[in-house]
Structure 1
Amino acid sequence: MKNKKIIIGLPLAALLGLALFAFASNRSVPLRVKAAFVKKFPQVKKVKWDKESDAEWEAEFKMNGMEYSANFLEDGTWKETEHEIEQKDIPDAVKATLDTELSGYEIEEAEISETVDGLTYEFEMEKGEQELEVSIDVHGKLIHKQVVDEEGEKDQD
């Protein structure tokens, strides 16, 4: 009988602990951040919050059947919203830059990023052992290119 209590009690305690942790994590999101999120995305009801840095929070959510992330500063200032896109949705000007300046690299992941400065296309690319992170504006201008090493550390290129 004692073993049965332990077998049932341990998973139940673990589940309760995880639920309390999730609740506590969500509760620690500043009210200004939550209010800014609701103002920007009023139709979104389910949000997962993570602390991105000491001063920044990231919300992960679904909207229009797609997975999004949005970042906000502690004071509620919106920083960025991004979501993955299909390769077929990459504009021609951006494709032209990829073809000319990054020939031979394969796109591993493509995202569109929206900030107060506008839209950019962000890519994780690979050619053999070399991995790059690349940002291109809507007009096809290469804004950022960074080599990522095997440990995930970034070298400016």
Structure 2
Amino acid sequence: MKSVTLTIALLAALMLNACGQPKVKVPEQVKTAFTKKFPNAKHVEWGKESETEWEAEFRINGMEYSANYDASGKWLETESEISKKDLPESIKNTITKDFSGYKMDEAEISETRDGVFYEIKLEKKNEALEIVFDKSGKVIKQKKIDEDEEDND
């Protein structure tokens, strides 16, 4: 009888834990700023990007986006995936010229207060790079990605 009671208690605790995940409490000013910038957003899910930054993942017209805000509601960035064919020719040319032998794994377009940028992950054998380009194809930032970082993305 004790084992049955213990089993039931354990199952109840597991069910409560699985169903009772707390939702994040998004500051009202962040939600208001988001709704004003993206009034047509659907399926919005909020999370914390860092201690001081909120991230909304959402859809508009079937496309997936993410937008980041600081705690005061200031918009920081919007990102979405982009296909290779939709990249500016200038970026394709820079990849062909300066990153020969690398294959594009994924690409995102990122809009910030500073402009539009393209974040591209390139792979070659056991090496992966994350490159940020401006519209003209100029490399703004480049970093090597290790396997641990890839798993956390």
Asked if these proteins are the same fold (TM beyond 0.5), I'd say yes
- Report how far residue 45 of structure 1 moved: 3.5
Question: Which residue number corresponds to residue 39 of structure 1?
Answer: 36
Q: Does 1:96 align with 2:93?
A: yes
Question: Which residue number corresponds to residue 150 of structure 1?
Answer: 147
The one of 22, 25, 31 equivalent to 2:23 is: 25
For 2:75, the aligned partner's letter is: W
Q: Does 1:48 align with 2:76?
A: no
Distance in 2 (alpha carbons) for counterparts of 1:45 and 1:92: 32
Q: How does 1:1-157 map to 2 (within 5 A)?
A: 10=11, 14=14, 17-21=17-21, 24-26=22-24, 28-152=25-149
Give CA deviations for 1:101-149 in whole Å, capped at 9, x if unaligned: 1111111111100001111111111111111000000011111110112
Give the root-mean-square deviation of aligned CA atoms.
2.4
Count of residue pairs the alignment pairs up: 149
SS in 2 for 1:151: helix
Distance in 2 (alpha carbons) for counterparts of 1:68 and 1:59: 8
Alpha-carbon distance change, 15 to 29 in structure 1, aligned in 2, over 3 angstroms:
farther
Q: Does the CA contact (< 8 Å) of 2:33 and 2:73 recur in 1?
A: yes
- Unpaired runs of at least 5, structure 1: none
SS in 2 for 1:122: strand
- Report how far residue 85 of structure 1 moved: 0.8
- Unpaired runs of at least 5, structure 2: none
Q: Does the CA contact (< 8 Å) of 2:42 and 2:59 recur in 1?
A: no
SS in 2 for 1:140: coil
